[in-house]
Structure 1
Amino acid sequence: MEVEIKLQPGLAGPRAVIYCGEITPEVEAAAARLAGATRRLAGRREGRVYLLDPGEITLVTAEGQQVYALCQGERYLLKARLYELEAQLAGSRFARISHSEIANFDWVESLDMSTAGTIHLRFKKGGGAFVSRRYVARIKERLGL
């Protein structure tokens, strides 16, 4: 990606414009970083609050009324709702894969599409998650499959 910075004295705040021929995952990620969508998330574990870097989160999952982030083999309780996190992480490396899960595709090692109508994501650090049939078409489109 080509980057250019121009100084404009008197400008109230920084402004970024991305020129592109098509919207690619690289363009979406750059836009999300510039928009500040990658700010840290507060997660609770064992009575302590941790500031989580979204890039380190493998999977965000909802279980009952609780939302958890899986990050470096640990599970952190998040205060935000899943739909709020989906909006906050939109346009970046995250994608909704089921009614109760959002996956970080930077951590996806491979996709197993041998079962008809579903996709099983395998993560680099172990574990996995299934893409529900409802979201398979969106994931395939996003990945260019």
Structure 2
Amino acid sequence: MKIELSIDPTCKEPKILIITNEVTDEITELMRILSPDSLDRVSAYTHRGVKIVEIQNIIRIYTENKKVLIQTANGVAEVKLRLYKLEEKLNPKQFVRISNSEIVNINEITNMDISKTGTIGVTLSGNIHTYASRRYVSKIKKQLGL
């Protein structure tokens, strides 16, 4: 992929133009990342009120009792977005969905244990243990480059 930058003193707002012969996964991902809808932080609700959490600080996002929760090194908080909406806005190079109810930060994975029965135990930083669904194994392997 070639990248070109053009400086125009009359330009009021930056504009990104992608010229391609076909829309590939790489192009789609690039458009998603550059979209103004992509997330770099999220509002989280705790018993103390609202706090802003940087996306890179999230260890995992999961559902429990019909609530969407985010876990960081500082604890757990609730977010008002649906899990699938968060997944759409997160960078797939940083986050991977491991089950219907959980998305994890790839950078926070410390160990993956694949058993003979096909289940995958996932250990995250902070000694957090969770499991990946067999249904998501191929997607996980693809995103992790396995």
Matched residue, 1:120: 121
SS at match of 1:109: strand
TM-score by length of 1: 0.79
Any stretches of 5+ residues in structure 1 without a counterpart?
none
Query: Cα gap change, 1:8/1:69 in structure 2, threshold over 3 Å: closer, same or farther?
Result: same
Measure the CA separation in 2 of the matches of 1:5 and 1:138. 34
- Counterpart code for 1:144: G
RMSD: 3.1
Alpha-carbon offset, residue 15 of structure 1: 3.4
Identity %: 30
Alpha-carbon offset, residue 125 of structure 1: 2.3
SS at match of 2:85: helix
Matched residue, 1:80: 81
Which stretches of structure 1, 4 residues or more, deviate above 6 A after TM superposition?
A: none
Measure the CA separation in 2 of the matches of 1:143 and 1:110. 12
Alpha-carbon offset, residue 124 of structure 1: 2.2
Measure the CA separation in 2 of the matches of 1:43 and 1:53. 10
Matched residue, 1:46: 47
Any stretches of 5+ residues in structure 2 without a counterpart?
20-24
Aligned length, in residue pairs: 141
Deviations 1:85-108 (A, max 9, x none): 111114341111101101110111
Matched residue, 2:15: 15
Measure the CA separation in 2 of the matches of 1:92 and 1:51. 22
Q: Does the 8 A contact of 2:45 with 2:79 survive in 1?
A: yes
Matched residue, 1:103: 104
TM-score by length of 2: 0.78
Measure the CA separation in 1 of the matches of 2:119 and 2:10. 54
Alpha-carbon offset, residue 4 of structure 1: 6.9
